[in-house]
Amino acid sequence: MRFAGNVIWFVLGGWYTALIWLLGAAVFAISIVGIPLTIAALQMARLSAWPFGKDVVHIRELDGKGLSATTAVTGTVGFIVNVIWACTFGIVLFFAYLLAGVLCCLTLIGIPFGLQSFKLAGISLWPVGRRVVPAELADLARSENARTKLAKYRGASA
């Protein structure tokens, strides 16, 4: 199903939104400050072209690093770059995905495509600090983080 969904998605417009991501990556690659955004936009372009079977997770869900001086600085830089992205290409992609999602959800067959569009709409505003991974890895990372947080709560209350 993933392969068929990805092929249908790509043919019916995934290539177009991937090109917008690539255009944004090219624009931000010109400056040194835009390099983190370029990397994120390239990953999101790949996801935008072939979204089925993939998910997006925050980098801290994958690496398990807590708050430190390094993560605070990278998080602040990422925040600033995300704001710049959201005010430029992010808003365009958001509305493109939102419109595509609504149109896809008008038919029963289009609902899975609409759900992918809505997922991509949310990601399109804030891509820096996110990683595209297989859906199984995303589920595993989230369950491991939940297990760790639960262990902390149980340890704190005991």
Q: Over 60: is that where the pLDDT of 158 sits? A: no
Total-model pTM: 0.80
- Cβ atoms 51, 127 nearer than 8 A: no
Show me where the domains of the chain are located. 2-157
- The predicted structure's pLDDT at residue 157: 58
Share of the chain above pLDDT 70, in %: 98
Q: What is the pLDDT of residue 121?
A: 93
- Category of 6 on φ-ψ map: left (φ > 0), alpha (ψ -120 to 50) or beta: alpha
